[in-house]
């Protein structure tokens, strides 16, 4: 079997990835009660760690989940990154930080054992220069109890991504229940509209992506509510995420956009790559 991770840390200690296990009764396993973050490890440094730890805390607060303090998590991340650097020549790796409700009774009620904390890192698949997307027939629920939280209840994303891949695409995009453009399964969406770059506001139900926030702050992107059809009608558009960075969208539902990348997208991609090269924790 191909190695899933090159380094792992579970509940306080580094472990060999093959022995990185949790209880079969962990509430993350039984009901998806957990939160997580995916970070980019860029030349041996976790990018935007502060923002990721802040978002993990916000997601945990939404679930009423206890998480260890930031120093504990940052130390665990540093230990795993140290292993990645020692074990491989990877210029870039992905690091995942997961906190679950811990061992619990079999129903939805949480147990008293305290959280399970897992940090793992592995290779990052090479990124194609552009991505084809499909708008899926299911909606994001902007009024969900979990709206805006990055939880381990991601099976809707699994189904949507499989739907997109079955149509030859690399990402699935959701509208919300109001028919507004929302986000991808693991990415935010930015659309060129009348010479401006626009991304849906958090009220659409999308995740507050770290990359989204950085392009909003640094790359002339604005927030505005958009009908989902604005994506297919755009001249240019791109996805943002920790693993994709700024990735131009080549086609929507099989129809090519006019430019991939368009000029606005190319400028945003250049701005983001400068930031990545110059500031490890913006």
Residues forming the site for ligand PLP (CB under 6 A): 38, 150, 183, 186-188, 207, 209-212, 240-242
CB-nearest residue to ligand PLP: 209
- Give 103 or 200: the residue with its C-beta nearer to ligand PLP: 200
- Give 176 or 241: the residue with its C-beta nearer to ligand PLP: 241
Taking the complex as a whole, the smallest distance from the CB of residue 112 to ligand PLP amounts, in Å, to: 30
Taking the complex as a whole, the smallest distance from the CB of residue 25 to ligand PLP amounts, in Å, to: 26
- Give 23 or 62: the residue with its C-beta nearer to ligand PLP: 62
Taking the complex as a whole, the smallest distance from the CB of residue 140 to ligand PLP amounts, in Å, to: 8
Taking the complex as a whole, the smallest distance from the CB of residue 183 to ligand PLP amounts, in Å, to: 5
Query: Could you tell me which of 119, 152, 121, 120 has the C-alpha nearest to residue 29?
Result: 152
Taking the complex as a whole, the smallest distance from the CB of residue 157 to ligand PLP amounts, in Å, to: 6
- Give 55 or 110: the residue with its C-beta nearer to ligand PLP: 55
- Give 110 or 212: the residue with its C-beta nearer to ligand PLP: 212
Q: Which residues contact 192 (CB under 8 A, 6 or more apart)?
A: 198, 234, 235, 236, 237, 262, 264, 265
The distance of Cα 211 from the centroid of its chain, to the nearest Å, equals 9
Phi, psi of 52, deg, nearest 5? -70, -40
């Amino acid at each position: 079997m191909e190695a899933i991770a090159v380094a792992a840390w579970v509940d306080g200690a580094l472990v060999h990835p093959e022995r990185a296990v949790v209880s079969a009764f962990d509430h993350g396993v039984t009901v998806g009660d957990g939160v997580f973050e995916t970070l980019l490890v860029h030349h041996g440094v976790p990018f935007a760690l502060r923002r990721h730890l802040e978002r993990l805390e916000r997601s945990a607060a939404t679930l009423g989940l206890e998480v260890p303090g930031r120093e504990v998590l940052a130390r665990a991340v540093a230990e795993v990154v140290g292993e990645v650097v020692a074990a491989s020549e990877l210029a870039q790796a992905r690091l995942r930080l997961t906190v679950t409700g811990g061992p619990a009774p079999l129903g939805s009620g949480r147990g008293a054992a305290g959280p399970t904390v897992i940090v793992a890192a592995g290779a990052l698949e090479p990124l194609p220069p552009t991505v084809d997307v499909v708008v899926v027939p299911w909606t994001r629920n902007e009024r969900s109890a979990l709206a805006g939280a990055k939880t381990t209840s991601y099976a809707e994303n699994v189904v949507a991504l499989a739907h997109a891949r079955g149509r030859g695409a690399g990402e699935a995009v959701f509208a919300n229940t109001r028919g507004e453009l929302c986000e991808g399964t693991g990415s935010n969406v930015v659309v060129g509209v009348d010479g401006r770059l626009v991304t849906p506001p958090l009220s659409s139900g999308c995740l507050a992506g770290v990359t989204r926030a950085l392009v909003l702050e640094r790359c002339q992107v604005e927030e505005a509510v958009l009908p989902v059809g604005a994506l297919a009608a755009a001249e240019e558009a791109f996805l943002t995420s920790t693993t994709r960075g700024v990735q131009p969208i080549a086609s929507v539902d099989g129809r090519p956009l006019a430019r991939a990348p368009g000029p606005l997208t190319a400028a945003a991609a250049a701005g983001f790559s400068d930031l990545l090269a110059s500031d490890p924790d913006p």
